[in-house]
């Protein structure tokens, strides 16, 4: 168990009245401040008008997080932003990796086909926007603690809105509730809770793209479109970003279900700039020109149930709107990219793929990125892939690894002894569409989670995500905007493999730096 100054973590809540008081304070504050989600499907049938909201799962206390690891993750984010912008600009590099995994991954193949269709007629919008999130866990090797990257998200990087609210919740509790606990310890004198402006930072990135797009040549008002999933439960997380865009930047924002793209948008006919026009459903004569399209949907096969959904994605990609992300940027987030970047050279030193994108630097940036990589292996037919296949299929050796497909959204990975069983269930020709990652060993922690009105106490694992916003020009290669944009801390029970909050595995948390 990690200790913090003046006592152990977390403070004991042996008094039932204290537990109830603290839980009630969190429930009320969360609903009053939008730290909430829509109820699960089982409840929706009893809420036909969509008026219900429930608390997002959250920890009662901020989790201790090593200050050095937190600061390193924040400081390296702009380098990661630039790295992935450069990757998205390198079509040849991405094409080679797509060809390696597409045989066993129809979704990746379909994304690439959309890109090729647009490339055939010519892209009209050179600007690309990335709202990124780099996820880490703290790896404990003896007494040494070091951040190791879990994954890099290039599409629908969620919880920027709820993360900012979670930080505010724990700051509020530190001022009002923690000092009243019988075993308050250091909670009575204050915690080192870093400021977190993730909603503001992400909105600033969207606003930068909106400004770069400029005024409409057709004299239409311009707007930002949020592409969302039908029945989205995590709506309030998205709304915080919308409200920030509207209140701080005066930008019109509209939510558009992914399934309604073709019915509610159109390409301006006969114009080379292919402006994307959006008609209000309540007043079709009121037309806006979409300057930025922010995808909070479209990241997995479930968003494309029919050919029409792929036509909708094609319409967005070929339009003059700035896509967040473009197809190439989404493909840059493949786990295969992460694996190739981390594959060491036989002679040691910076991996060749990483040198490809940070060449010309003095090496400090490359080594800074390299420090955060963990051991990742291909599952292809190369010698390294054959060695990984042997580890993955070994009943004992597989217990050190997680196997990942090229997917976002949580719930897609295979851990430890589940790896051999899954490999046996699919053709061996498809194994190359996965990567094998060595499991990260975090330090032991405990916390209390409030989920569905119930308190769960025990061992936990924390995952830090750092947001970044980046705007760049695909043609000139110029980086127009590049900022670190706040953080997310997700926590799960130490017996849980996955950590996605929206997928039902983890909960919201914030950092107490130690």
Active site residue 409: yes
- Out of 153, 198, 259, 512, which one is annotated catalytic? 153
Annotated ligand binding at 318? The verdict is: no
Name residues whose C-beta falls within 8 Å of residue 287's C-beta, 6 or more positions apart in sequence.
Answer: 220, 277, 278, 279, 280
Annotated ligand binding at 492? The verdict is: yes
Q: Where are the beta strands (DSSP E) in 409-478?
A: 414-415, 435-438, 445-451, 454-473
Annotated ligand binding at 213? The verdict is: no
Annotated ligand binding at 449? The verdict is: no
Annotated ligand binding at 502? The verdict is: yes
How far apart (Å, rounded) are the C-alpha atoms in residues 437 and 417?
14
Annotated ligand binding at 37? The verdict is: no
Annotated ligand binding at 244? The verdict is: no
Annotated ligand binding at 155? The verdict is: yes
Q: How far is CA 305 from the centre of its chain?
A: 23
What H or E segment, with its residue span, contains residue 11?
Answer: none
Active site residue 151: yes
- Out of 86, 274, 313, 335, which one is annotated catalytic? 335
Annotated ligand binding at 19? The verdict is: no
> How do beta strands 322-324 and 283-295 pair?
parallel
Name residues whose C-beta falls within 8 Å of residue 175's C-beta, 6 or more positions apart in sequence.
Answer: none
- Out of 63, 81, 88, 158, which one is annotated catalytic? 158
Annotated ligand binding at 399? The verdict is: no
85 close to 479: Cβ distance less than 8 angstroms: yes
- Out of 404, 499, 506, 510, which one is annotated catalytic? 404
Active site residue 239: no
- Out of 408, 447, 484, 506, which one is annotated catalytic? 408
Active site residue 490: yes
Q: Where are the beta strands (DSSP E) in 281-334?
A: 283-295, 322-324
- Out of 82, 100, 151, 483, which one is annotated catalytic? 151
Active site residue 88: no
Annotated ligand binding at 413? The verdict is: yes
DSSP at 350: S
Name residues whose C-beta falls within 8 Å of residue 482's C-beta, 6 or more positions apart in sequence.
Answer: 78, 81, 82, 85, 468, 469, 470, 471
Active site residue 451: no
Annotated ligand binding at 438? The verdict is: yes
Annotated ligand binding at 437? The verdict is: yes
Active site residue 335: yes
Q: Which residue has the tokens 């929706």?
A: 44
CA distances from 157 to 20, 135, 160 (A): 33, 10, 8
Active site residue 81: no
Q: Return the number of other C-beta atoms located less than 10 Å from residue 81's C-beta.
A: 27
- Out of 38, 86, 133, 365, which one is annotated catalytic? 133
Residue 422, phi then psi, degrees to nearest 5? -70, -40
Annotated ligand binding at 396? The verdict is: no
Query: What b-and-e string marks burial along 361-383, b requiring 16 or more CB atoms within 10 Å of the CB?
Result: eeeebbebbbebbbbbbbbbeee
- Out of 409, 416, 446, 456, which one is annotated catalytic? 409
How far apart (Å, rounded) are the C-alpha atoms in residues 211 and 362?
33
Annotated ligand binding at 151? The verdict is: yes
Annotated ligand binding at 407? The verdict is: yes
Annotated ligand binding at 347? The verdict is: no
Annotated ligand binding at 452? The verdict is: no
Annotated ligand binding at 158? The verdict is: yes
- Out of 490, 500, 506, 512, which one is annotated catalytic? 490
Active site residue 283: no
Annotated ligand binding at 157? The verdict is: yes
> How do beta strands 401-404 and 435-438 pair?
antiparallel
129 close to 330: Cβ distance less than 8 angstroms: no
365 close to 79: Cβ distance less than 8 angstroms: yes
Annotated ligand binding at 239? The verdict is: no
**How many residues are given for the chain?**
514
Annotated ligand binding at 51? The verdict is: no
Annotated ligand binding at 72? The verdict is: no
The binding site for substrate consists of: 133, 155-158, 232-234, 238, 296-299, 490, 501-502
Catalogue the active-site residues: 133, 151, 153, 158, 335, 404, 408-409, 490
The binding site for Mg(2+) consists of: 151, 153, 408
The binding site for ATP consists of: 151, 335, 404-413, 415, 437-440, 463, 492, 498
The binding site consists of: 133, 151, 153, 155-158, 232-234, 238, 296-299, 335, 404-413, 415, 437-440, 463, 490, 492, 498, 501-502
């Amino acid at each position: 168990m990690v200790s913090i100054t003046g006592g152990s973590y977390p403070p004991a809540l042996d008094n039932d009245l204290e537990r109830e008081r603290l839980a009630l304070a969190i429930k009320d504050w969360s609903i009053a401040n939008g730290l909430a989600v829509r109820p699960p499907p089982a409840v929706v049938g009893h809420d036909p008008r969509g008026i219900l909201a429930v608390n997002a799962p959250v920890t009662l206390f901020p989790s201790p997080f090593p200050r050095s690891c937190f600061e390193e993750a924040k400081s390296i984010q702009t380098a990661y932003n630039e790295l992935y912008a450069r990757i998205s600009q390198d079509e040849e590099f991405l094409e080679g990796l797509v060809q390696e995994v597409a045989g066993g991954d129809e979704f990746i193949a379909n994304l690439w086909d959309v890109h090729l269709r647009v490339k055939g007629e010519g892209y009209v919008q050179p600007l690309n926007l990335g709202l990124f999130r780099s996820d880490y866990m703290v790896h404990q090797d003896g007494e040494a603690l070091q951040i190791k990257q879990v994954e890099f998200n290039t599409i629908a990087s969620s919880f920027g809105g709820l993360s900012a609210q979670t930080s505010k919740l724990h700051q509020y509790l530190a001022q009002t509730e923690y000092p009243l606990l019988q075993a308050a310890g250091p909670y009575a004198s204050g915690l080192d809770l870093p400021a977190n402006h993730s909603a503001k930072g992400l909105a600033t990135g969207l606003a930068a793209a909106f400004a770069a797009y400029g005024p409409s040549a057709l004299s239409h008002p311009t707007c930002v479109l949020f592409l969302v999933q039908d029945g989205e439960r995590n709506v309030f997380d998205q709304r915080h970003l919308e409200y920030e865009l509207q209140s701080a930047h005066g930008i019109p924002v509209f939510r558009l279900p992914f399934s309604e793209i073709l019915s509610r948008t159109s390409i301006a006919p006969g114009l080379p700039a292919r402006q994307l026009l959006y008609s209000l459903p309540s007043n079709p004569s009121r037309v806006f020109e979409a300057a930025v399209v922010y995808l909070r949907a479209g990241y997995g096969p479930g968003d494309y149930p029919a050919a029409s959904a792929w036509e909708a994605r094609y319409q967005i990609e070929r339009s003059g709107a700035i896509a967040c992300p473009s197809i190439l940027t989404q493909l840059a987030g493949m786990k295969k990219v992460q694996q190739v970047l981390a594959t060491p050279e036989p002679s040691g030193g910076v991996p060749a793929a990483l040198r490809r994108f940070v060449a010309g630097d003095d090496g400090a940036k490359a080594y800074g990125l390299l420090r955060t990589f963990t051991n990742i292996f291909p599952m292809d037919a190369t010698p390294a892939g054959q060695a990984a296949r042997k580890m993955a299929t070994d009943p004992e050796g597989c217990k050190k690894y997680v196997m990942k497909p090229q997917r976002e959204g949580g719930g897609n990975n295979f851990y430890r002894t589940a790896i051999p069983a899954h490999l046996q269930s699919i053709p061996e020709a498809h194994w190359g569409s996965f990567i094998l990652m060595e499991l990260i060993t975090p330090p032991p922690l405990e916390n209390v989670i409030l989920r569905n009105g119930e308190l769960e106490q025990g061992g936990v694992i924390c995952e830090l995500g750092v947001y970044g916003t980046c705007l760049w020009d695909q043609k000139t290669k110029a980086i127009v905007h590049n900022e670190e944009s706040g953080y997310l801390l997700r926590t799960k029970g130490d017996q849980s493999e996955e950590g996605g909050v929206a997928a039902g595995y983890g909960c919201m948390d914030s950092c107490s730096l130690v």
